[in-house]
């Protein structure tokens, strides 16, 4: 019985032009973040926008630089949803408690 142990060679795809465009988008988004800091936007608004932009930037890095967009769907499914789930669980654990603390009288 033949069982295949060798993987088919999998060459990452993507051209220099594509990677350069992604790099420029990353720079552009970073530039916008710095602009927000320069304008001293209010901290709660700022953190929301910054986390959003960071998520977009990390998605670009994972999709193109780490080639996740070109991998099989199975790899994406074992990596990303589990990670997102764990991070959401951490946030659920932390933030309700922190909101409760802000409503306590200051000593």
Q: Which residues bind another protein (CB under 8 A)?
A: 1-4, 7-8, 10-12, 14, 16, 19-20, 23, 26-27, 30, 33-34, 36-38, 40, 43-44, 46-47, 50-51, 53-54, 57-58, 61-62, 64-67, 71-72, 74-75, 78-79, 82-83, 86-87, 90-91, 94-95, 98-99, 101-102
User: Count of alpha carbons within 13 Å of 43, Cβ hemisphere only?
Assistant: 0
Nearer to another protein among residue 44 and residue 105 (C-beta):
44
Q: Which residues of 70-106 are buried (b: 16+ CB within 10 A; e: fewer)?
A: eeeeeeeeeeeeeeeeeeeeeeeeeeeeeeeeeeeee
Kindly state the smallest distance separating residue 70's Cβ from another protein, in Å. 11
Shortest distance (Å) from residue 105 CB to another protein: 14
């Amino acid at each position: 019985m033949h069982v295949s142990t060798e993987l088919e060679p999998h060459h990452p795809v993507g051209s220099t032009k594509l990677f350069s465009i992604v790099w420029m988008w990353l720079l552009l988004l970073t530039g916008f973040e710095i602009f927000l800091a320069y304008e001293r936007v209010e901290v709660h608004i700022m953190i929301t926008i910054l986390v959003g932009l960071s998520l977009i930037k990390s998605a670009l890095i994972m999709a193109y630089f780490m080639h996740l967009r070109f991998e099989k769907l199975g790899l994406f499914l074992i990596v990303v949803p589990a990670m997102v789930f764990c991070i959401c669980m951490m946030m659920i654990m932390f933030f309700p408690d922190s909101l409760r603390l802000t409503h306590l009288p200051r000593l």
